[in-house]
Structure 1
Amino acid sequence: MLERELHAMSAEGDVPAIQKLLAKGVSIDARDQSGRTALLVATHANQVEAAKVLIDAGADVNAKDAISDSPYLYAGARGHLEILRMTLVHGADLKSTNRYGGTALIPAAERGHVETVRALIEAGVDVDHVNNLNWTALLEAIVLGDGGPRHVAIVKLLVDAGADVNLADGEGVTPLQNARKHGFGDIEKILVAAGAR
Structure 2
Amino acid sequence: QGLTVLIRASQYGHLATTAILVEKGASVYASDSSGRTPLMWCFRFGHVRMASLFLEHGARANQVDMDGQTPLMWALKRGHLDAAPVLFQFGAEVDAVDHEGRSLLMWACQQGELLTAQMLL
TM-score exceeds 0.5: yes
**Does 1:142 pair with 2:105?**
no
SS in structure 1 at match of 2:58: coil
Give me the whole-angstrom Cα distance separating, in 2, the residues matched to 1:158 and 1:99: 23
**Does 1:157 pair with 2:107?**
no
Percent identity over the alignment is 26
The corresponding residue for 1:53 is 20
Structure ID, larger Rg: 1
The corresponding residue for 2:99 is 132
**Does 1:37 pair with 2:1?**
no
Give me the whole-angstrom Cα distance separating, in 1, the residues matched to 2:74 and 2:20: 26
SS in structure 1 at match of 2:118: helix
**Structure number with higher relative contact order (C-alpha < 8 Å, ≥ 6 residues apart):** 2
> Does the aligned pair in 1 maintain the 2:61–2:72 contact within 8 Å?
no
SS in structure 1 at match of 2:102: coil
Equivalence map 1:103-142=2 (5 Å): 103-142=70-109
Unpaired stretches in structure 1, ≥5 consecutive residues: 1-33, 160-197
State how many pairs are aligned. 121
Give TM-score scaled by structure 2 length. 0.88
Give me the whole-angstrom Cα distance separating, in 1, the residues matched to 2:25 and 2:75: 26
Unpaired stretches in structure 2, ≥5 consecutive residues: none
**Post-superposition shift, 1:123?**
1.6
**Post-superposition shift, 1:122?**
2.1
| Aligned residues: CA RMSD | 1.6
> Does the aligned pair in 1 maintain the 2:40–2:70 contact within 8 Å?
yes
Give TM-score scaled by structure 1 length. 0.57
